[in-house]
Structure 1
Amino acid sequence: MPLERYGVLKARPIASRQGRGRAPHYHIHAIDHGEDYRVSIAVRSAPAPSQLLYLIDDRFTHPVLARLRELPMGFCGQPSRPDAAAALDYVRGQMLTRARMSALPWDVPGPDEDFNELLHLWVGRALRDEDALIYAFGERFGPQHTPDPHFGFRPSTGIYRVHMNQGSVGAHDERDGAWQDGALMLWFPPIIEQGRTKLAERWVAVFVAFASQRWDSEPEPGMLTP
């Protein structure tokens, strides 16, 4: 069944909080022309049996990026089909394979040793670059006319289910569907000095899935390739 409010948020990140507690999520406070959003990314699976898998591709390239550049700021609802401007499908869109993903504990001693901290490294870099943008794919929640529990803005609204949304089993399979996968992408602008491009633009893609999800869908003929 397709997610009812699937889409992508294009916005400027201004703050973040690392995940803590029994069901930890990494939270990003993002804004678009004065409207506030919270992007929530799971950094640990619910208790057994599943395990969280992730991939942070810090040199991401894919044909979908050309379409993302053209999107307006703010939330854009996307129909769950391959001809949508920015609907993602890990498998049919040939974005990545399960073999490229890693499993790490969500919170372990030492610097840069877990998904929480690795994600924070890149989000922190985006926070320090006033021209950087995030593209958060998932399902929109809210608006709820109460203060956001993590950043305090009102009304509380944003993006969650920023992970693979197909191949689930058990209690979550009712939300399964093609062309509605979640992900976080960070865009860093080119660095230009004395009229010359010193460093090209950079895309960093964060993909999240659960070990229990199936990857047995076959890419459709004519789908995009990296």
Structure 2
Amino acid sequence: MPLQRYGVLKARPIASRQGRGRTPHYHVHAVDHGEDYRVSISVRSSAGPSQLLYLIDDRFEHPLLERLRALPLGFCGQPPSSGGAALDYVRANLLSRERMSELPWDVPGPDDDFNELLDLWVGRALRDEDALIYAFGERFGPIHEPDPHFGFRPATGIYRVHMNQGSDPAYSERDGPWQDGALLLWFPEIVEDGHVKLRERWVAVFVAFSSQRWAA
């Protein structure tokens, strides 16, 4: 059964929180022209092995990017099918399972867990006032209560920012093609004195659970 409110959020990130607690998620506070959102990314599996599979592609290139550039700011619902901006790890040849790695979500020391790798790239986007995020997943809310992590009202945002097919049987009711989640970060080209100092860059964060099966 497909996700009910699948789509992509295009917005400006303004804050972040590392994942903590029993079901930890890394949270990003993002805004468009008039609305606040929370993007929640799983950093630990609640079923089976506690480590996730992840891939951070810091030089991501794909024909999909042209479609993303054309999207307006805010949440854009996407039909679960090819031809639009929906994601499918398997059918769209975004990546293979062999490219993904396991990583603990929270261990002592710098830059050696998933929270800290997310901090590395999200932190860079927070420092670049022109950077944008594209968060793929299912929308939740609006709920007319303060967001529990960032305090804005009404609480709304994107979750299930991970592969959403081939799941453990306990979660298989939400399985479906062309509805995978991911976080993409866009960094604009920087030109100084008529010369390109930094080229445009896309960074893609892909997340899956160890128990998921990869088959079309």
Which residue of 2 is the match for residue 108 of structure 1?
A: 107
Alpha-carbon distance in structure 1 between the residues aligned to 2:61 and 2:206: 14
State the match for 2:28 in structure 1: 28
Once the two structures are superposed, what CA deviation does each residue of 1:51-108 show, in whole Å capped at 9, x if it has no partner?
Answer: 4110111000011001100000000000000022x10000000000000001011101
Residue correspondences, number: 216
How much has 1:49 moved relative to structure 2? Answer: 4.5
Match for residue 215 of structure 1? 214
Aligned to 2:46, what secondary structure does the other structure show?
A: coil
CA RMSD of aligned residues (A): 0.9
1:143 match: 142
Partner AA of 1:87 in structure 2: A
AA in 1 matched with 2:178: W
How many angstroms apart in 2 are the aligned matches of 1:49 and 1:191? 42
Q: Give the match for residue 52 of structure 1.
A: 52
- Cα distance in 2 for partners of 1:64, 1:17 equals 28
CA distance in 2, matches of 1:155, 1:210: 30
Letter in 2 for 1:195: G
**Counterpart in the other structure of 1:71:** 71
Matches of 1:58 and 1:91 in 2, distance apart? Answer: 20
Residue 87 (structure 1) aligns with: 86
Give, as a single letter, the amino acid of the residue that structure 2 aligns with 1:36.
D
Of all paired residues, the percent bearing the same amino acid is 80
Partner of 2:167: 168
Work out whether residues 44 and 50 of structure 2, in 8 Å CA contact, stay in contact via their aligned partners in 1.
Answer: no
SS of residue matched to 1:103:
strand
Judge conservation of contact 2:87–2:180 (CA < 8 Å) in 1: yes
Query: Which blocks of at least 5 consecutive residues in structure 1 are unaligned?
Result: 218-226
TM-score for both structures, normalised by structure 2: 0.98
The 8 Å contact of residues 36 and 156 in structure 2, kept in 1 or not, is answered as yes
Match of 1:220 in 2: none
Question: Does the 8 Å contact 1:90/1:181 carry over to 2?
Answer: yes
Runs of 4+ residues deviating >2 angstroms: 47-51
CA distance in 1, matches of 2:125, 2:158: 18
Secondary structure at 2:103 match in 1: coil
**Residues 191-212 of structure 1 deviation map (CA, whole Å, 9 limit, x = unaligned):** 1011222221000000000011
Alpha-carbon distance between aligned partners in 2 of 1:122 and 1:175, rounded to the nearest angstrom: 29
Answer whether contact 1:8 1:136 (CA < 8 A) is retained.
yes
Give the TM-score, by structure 1 length.
0.94
Q: Where do 5+ consecutive residues of structure 2 fail to align?
A: none
Corresponding residue of 1:221: none
> 2:42 maps to what in 1?
42
Structure 1 counterpart of 2:205, one-letter code: V
TM superposition shift of 1:170: 1.1
* Deviation per residue, 1:153-183 (Å, 9 max, x gap): 0000000000000111211001000000000
